[in-house]
Structure 1
Amino acid sequence: MGLALELIIKGATKPQALQHKLRILSLGHVQMGIKPQMFTHFEKALFYFLEQTLSNYHMFDPKVEEAWRWMWGIVHASFTRHMESASKNLGILANSWDYIETHHDLGDISDKFFALLFHRAPALQNFFVKPKKMQTVMFVKAMQLIVKSVTDTKVLEVELKAIALRHIKYDINSEHLTIFGEVLIATLGDVCGPHQWDEDIAGAWLDIYGHIAQVFGHVISSGRNLVSKALATGNSKELEAALDLTPRNKRVLAALEIDVDDTVVSPVVWTIAEG
């Protein structure tokens, strides 16, 4: 109950973080077989708890209840929507990815993706200077991460945030993420063909990519500071200058931890991991 109350309260001040948390929770609930109809029981328990607890301090009256019900209404509607979406998309994405892996070469898909990407946005070639084979490896890993995120909440909570922070040095923005998504969907649709691609399949891929892009962009903007950028670029002089500007009592944590919506990631760990 405590975690639920904390989530509801934080949602009032951090709506984007709330939506992300609800999405994560909805996936776990769908996998456990929980239905949105069961929330009625939780709602009754929640307000019984609030009334019994707050009344002891003379802090529960019609206005307080109205405020809590307003916030609960937002959480309930969003949670229900995320659960319905997750329930629908889990099977669609699993079948679609199975078909793609079984019937198509991921290297060929990668080539088509980058060809279309550079055709639509030539300037993005500056972000991809590594050899073609490395581009293919990057593309395959990205696809596997997208698919894995459908069933593994750790991807969205931990792995994706760490990867996003490593991309701070590229100055990626929301426009870039939108183009990546449009090109990815167009590429997959072209590869699968009309018999293995329809509005539901496209919608499922768009839904999961859209959430990943949202988290990715939010983490980059939230975690971008002088220390994290210096670590991401591997520039020791910039790192030294950034730490000099950081208050002395916060320098160690500035290098060791970046807190994004209560999820702590370590820039030092991923800097060492990448060599």
Structure 2
Amino acid sequence: MAHGTNSTLPSDDVHAALGIGASIPRTGSAGAQAAQHTAAAEKLAEQGLWEQAYRHLHAAVRLLHGQRDAAETSYAPDELDRLRREHAEAREQSRRDSLTASYNRRYLDERLAALLDDLDDLDDPAVRTTGICVALVDIDHFKQVNDTYGHLFGDRVLQRMVAELDAGLPEGAFCARYGGEEFALVLPGRDLTEAVEICEEARHRIDRYPWLEMHSALRVTVSIGVAHSAGRLAEVERLIGEADELLYTAKQAGRNAVAFRAERSGRVCLAGPAAGRRAIPQPARTTG
């Protein structure tokens, strides 16, 4: 349900930055030249070459207004600053979920892929040593919240959930909305033990949150699956798939629990008080 867009500056955002409308006509000599200038400006802006980008954008504006001496334009430093700022704002907005302000699915996939690809080359020795953990967090029985209190109320619960998940994240970690009522926590430089502790603290914090202040009959809990990768062979799909399988195991085991696979024995365990539950499913370890 999260709406991701490309992290580069879209054409419409470039146009809006200079107030030249939502699109540039592609027909006619002036329109074609303006389109070429806009495309060049986008590539330069992505590289941080603001002065050159501005020159192309300004040339496009002059062409659209019938001023043929577009190549002779000059730039204003304050407009360059505005272009930098609006480019940064547009890029950040493209990475965020519009409802919860957490990172979106597009950012999650791109950032996690980069972390896994660069695992052995990162400057942080802790990341190289311990790898990366990913946790999937799902709100238990969230459909009942929407059905009972309405979707607008459910939106408030989602927003509160992000605040509680963010509250306990260490430096370098981030939360992203994976879809609907499901969130991903990415924890670089944390081994499995540390990641499970962070997730168990989050589960406990959410379980103890005063939900009754939002409604007298409301209680919200989460189930979490934690997966770990320590090498380049890991892929985003496999790591997310393992976390999702462990999340499902946590739900099967009674919900309101954090599930993980013990590194030595390979058995699926539950963290904290849930560890004492009698029936903990043992799904086969995924490979590939």
Quickly name the TM-score band, shorter chain normalised: under 0.3
TM-score, normalisation: structure 1: 0.23
1 or 2, which has the higher strand percentage?
2
The structure with more helix, counted as a fraction of residues: 1
Bigger Rg over Cα:
2
Please report the TM-score for the alignment, with normalisation by the length of structure 2.
0.22
